[in-house]
Amino acid sequence: MKDLELVKKGYANGVAPNSPLSEDDKWKMVEIAAKKYGEFLDALGCDWRNDPNSSDTPRRVAKAYVFDLWKGRYEDMSGITAFPSDGYDGIVQESMIPVESMCSHHHQRIGGKVSIAYVPSKDGKVVGLSKLNRIVEHFGRRGAIQEQLTVAIHNAVDKICEGNIGVAVMIDATHNCVSCRGVKHQGASMQTAKLSGCFLNEDSARAEFYKNIELAGKCK
């Protein structure tokens, strides 16, 4: 799907310059990145070649980045079909979608939950529920800052759900760069939200969004 990206190709939190990559291109990228990661370990004084646990680590790390951790940089989000709302004009919400991401600043894990809601107009569009999960995966699986990730997910939902009268996205996540390094504080979490349309302008819509998140939390 076109025009869902907020940032220029090649930016750290965007797609790679030549994205989408073929499988061949991905494996070529793994080989190059593995070589460079070996050099990175060399620079850290790590004799990785002679440790059976580490001798294949550069390749393992490179593979994890290309096929899992940053896969959203190398793949297109496959087509997301929107369907007519057939007169439904209430809230559509999915709460507590798991997100696994990595901060652009330190390359440490960002992990948490995303809640997404939109209100279609009577003659607008709705999407299959799991498509919201796929949008989270697409933008989460790359370097990100939580603030930008929140806006990227919001704007994608806004574009795909044509004719909507409001979109709300809330992310609640912990950052390993806070818990494992620097200040080393365990348990602190970060909340970010991007609201538009009725969620921004109507107290009742905004309250319903946050109430649904609370309800979803209680049902776990």
Among 105, 122, 185, 211, binds Zn ion (CB under 5 A): 105
Q: Does 1 bind Zn ion (CB under 5 A)?
A: no
Cα 186-191-195 angle, rounded to 5 deg: 170
26 or 106: CB nearest Zn ion: 106
Distance between CA atoms of residues 49 and 124, nearest Å: 58
What does the CA dihedral 75, 78, 79, 84 come to, rounded to 10 degrees?
-120
Q: Does 185 bind Zn ion (CB under 5 A)?
A: no
Q: Does 103 bind Zn ion (CB under 5 A)?
A: yes
Distance between CA atoms of residues 101 and 107, nearest Å: 9
29 or 144: CB nearest Zn ion: 144
Structure token pair of residue 69: 């951790």
Among 12, 177, 193, 216, binds Zn ion (CB under 5 A): 177
Structure token pair of residue 149: 């990730």
Return the residue nearest Zn ion (CB atom).
177
Q: Does 181 bind Zn ion (CB under 5 A)?
A: no
95 or 192: CB nearest Zn ion: 192
133 or 179: CB nearest Zn ion: 179
Q: How many CA atoms lie within 13 A of 36 on its CB side?
A: 8
